[in-house]
Amino acid sequence: MSCRADLAVEAENLTRTFGTTIALDGATFTVAHGEVFGLLGPNGAGKTTTMRVLLTLLRPTAGRARVAGLDVATQRAAVRARVGWVPQDRTVDPLLTAAENVEFMAGMYHLTARAGRRRAADLLGLAGLAEHKNRLARDLSGGMRRKLELAMSLVNVPAVLFLDEPTLGLDISARRALWSYVRQIRDTGTTIVLTTHYLDEADRLCDRVAIIDSGRIRAVGTPTGLKDRFAVTTLDDVFLAATGQDLTEQPAADQLMPS
């Protein structure tokens, strides 16, 4: 696979199977540097599997992928050092303070204690959590915990940030605040790959989206371009036209991969 300098993510025929189940079936797509790219699809479509392969948490069964110019199969440690991730599960340590959670993650990315403290202060400031830095994570609201997770994912100043359903379970006000924070991150030039069930949000935030279903990429393009192509007015309708199903119909099988 050729390595293009303008691309933050390149996936070519990416395939991942679990036993006889094909979770990802020959996915091919690219994400340009600085782009916000949405992976849209129902549960079990292969979104999380795609992310986990790109994060080097799962090895591809077939195909190739590069993230930040690095091969996910052969340069795993280097890829990990260049990416950030907010998983779908809520993964702060409830018994650490907000600052300690960020400092912990900074250490896992090999920052010194001093640099970790400085970075935690900066990132919590950016996230609007400075005044909550000494509160235990378990005492923060759902929206604040999600922002904290975003701050934790930025300790290494990632070239590519992966957000897996970042607003799932948040109320409207918390979702708005989170997207505002994501826009700030985007404005620093960070490439963002995200999954979301909220297609209206994807429409507003994403430069390009991929419709994924049953492990296959069904369509890729800008939200406007896709709506034009399928002669519809919303991404919901694009999804319906591309896959033949409504995104609200959710087969619950996206957790096939081991945690």
Partner 1 sequence: MTTPNESLAPVAAPQAVARIWREHRVLLGRWLSRLRRERLSAVALLAQPMVWLLLFGHLFTTMAQVAQVPGGSYLRFMTAGAVVMTTFNGCLVGGVELLFDRESGFLVRMLAAPASRLSIVTSRFIYLAAVTSAQGLIIMAAAAAMGVRYATGLAGVAACLAVGALFGAGVTALSVGLAFSLKSHGQFFPIIGFVSLPLTFASSALVPLTLMPGWMQRVARLNPMTYAIDALRTLVLTGWQVGLLLRITAILLAFDALFLAAAALALRRGLR
Of 14-22, 153-161, 227-235, 242-250, which segment contacts partner 1 by CB under 8 A?
153-161
165 touches partner 1 (CB under 8 A): no
From 14-22, 25-33, 37-45, 155-163, give the range in contact with partner 1 by CB under 8 A: 155-163
C-alpha to C-alpha distance for 182 and 259, rounded to whole angstroms: 26
The reply on whether position 142 binds partner 1 by CB under 8 A is: no
Interface residue with partner 1, options 4, 110, 139, 171 (CB under 8 A): 110
Considering the complex, state which of residue 114 and residue 244 has its C-beta at the smaller distance from partner 1.
114
How many residues line the site for partner 1 (CB under 8 A)? 47
242 neighbors 219 (Cβ within 8 angstroms): yes
Pick 107 or 200: Cβ nearer partner 1: 107
Taking CA atoms, 193 is separated from 4, 14, 74, 103, 136, in Å, by 18, 16, 21, 24, 29
Report the distance separating Cα 61 and Cα 15, nearest Å: 5
Q: Binder to partner 1 among 1, 3, 62, 95 (CB under 8 A)?
A: 95
Parallel, antiparallel, or unpaired: how do β-strands 191-195 and 83-86 relate?
unpaired
Mutual angle of helices 113-126 and 98-108, in 10-degree steps: 130
Is the Cβ of residue 141 or residue 255 nearer to partner 1 in the bound state? 255
Q: Is 83 in the site for partner 1 (CB under 8 A)?
A: yes
Q: Is residue 147 a contact point for partner 1 (CB under 8 A)?
A: no
The C-alpha atoms of residue 182 and residue 177 are separated, in whole angstroms, by 9
> Could you tell me where the DSSP H helices lie in the chain?
47-54, 76-82, 98-108, 113-126, 142-153, 172-187, 199-205, 223-229, 235-243
Task: Give, as ranges, the residues between 182 and 201 that touch partner 1 (CB under 8 A).
Answer: 184, 187-188
Q: Which residues bind partner 1 (CB under 8 A)?
A: 55-57, 77-78, 80-81, 83, 85, 87, 89-93, 95-96, 100, 103-113, 115-116, 118-119, 122-123, 125-126, 136, 154-157, 184, 187-188, 258-259
